[in-house]
Copies of this chain bind each other. A is one copy, B any other.
Amino acid sequence: MTLRVLGVDPGLTRCGIGVVDVEPDRRVSLVYYGVVRSEPSSPIEQRLLTIGLGLEAAIDEHKPHAMAVERVFAQHNLRTVMGTAQVSGLALHAAASRTIPVGLRTPSEVKAAITGYGAADKKQVQTMVARVLGLAELPQPADAADALALAICHAWRGAAPAAASGGDPSAMTPAQRAWLAAERASKR
């Protein structure tokens, strides 16, 4: 049973989206990657509308079983953090409104899962994402590669909501139960 995971690297100027299919034996294959852009000179509400429409279109086209969104932390540029937080809110809202289980992953957690090193740079992440997915070229731009890394990390870690339910199948969504069953079957 194949599970599809959509990762979102939230951003107001470039929002990365990556979709992968994951097999019970942890093999992953590429479904889609790209970025939604908005014009920095546009009013904030128009930018959020543009990013939101792009996110929703990707979700509705690829119909993921689970989603992962990068957790936003304080950065040097407060203006950027606000926009990033606003876009992460849209992504989480889009998941919940479609009853798609969604989890937050930190950048260092994702880097560690993909490269084995929590402080890996963008090039290392792109290189490992390309290797894992068997791509001939590095996924560009870095925001899209980050979204793919997020999706892969989330898949390999079994999707946070299932873990949060303590492995109790009765507390899970159908997608989470399917995931758990697939994981267990792959370990036999």
> Are A49 and B88 closer than 8 Å at their CB atoms?
no
Is A52 within 8 A of B97, CB to CB?
Answer: yes
Nearest residue, chain B, Cβ from A100: B45
Judge whether A182 is part of the interface by a CB distance below 8 angstroms: no
Chain B residues closer than 8 Å to A92, beta-carbon distance: 44-45, 48, 86
Contact residue among B45, B87, B97, B104 (Cβ-Cβ distance under 8 Å from A44): B104
Among residues of B, the one whose C-beta sits closest to the C-beta of A97 is B49
Q: With an 8 A cutoff between CB atoms, is A110 at the interface?
A: no
A136 within 8 A of B: no
Interface contact B89-A49, CB-CB below 8 Å: no
A72 adjacent to chain B (CB < 8 Å):
yes
Cα A161 to Cα B164 in complex, Å, equals 44
List of B residues within 8 angstroms of A46 by Cβ: 96
Does chain B have a CB within 8 A of A133?
Answer: no
Task: Using A44-B104, A45-B102 as known contacts, say yes or no to A52 and B93 having CB atoms under 8 A apart.
Answer: yes
- Residues of B within 8 Å of A81, CB to CB, are 85
CB-defined contacts of A90 to chain B, threshold 8 Å: 89-90, 93
By a beta-carbon cutoff of 8 Å, the part of chain A in contact with chain B is 43-46, 48-49, 52, 72, 74, 78, 81-82, 85-90, 92-93, 95-97, 102, 104, 161, 164
- 4 tightest A-B CB contacts, nearest first: A86-B89, A85-B85, A49-B96, A45-B96
Task: Supply 15 further A-B pairs (C-beta < 8 A) apart from A72-B82, A90-B93.
Answer: A43-B161, A44-B92, A45-B92, A45-B93, A45-B95, A45-B96, A45-B102, A46-B96, A49-B93, A52-B93, A74-B78, A86-B88, A86-B92, A87-B89, A90-B90
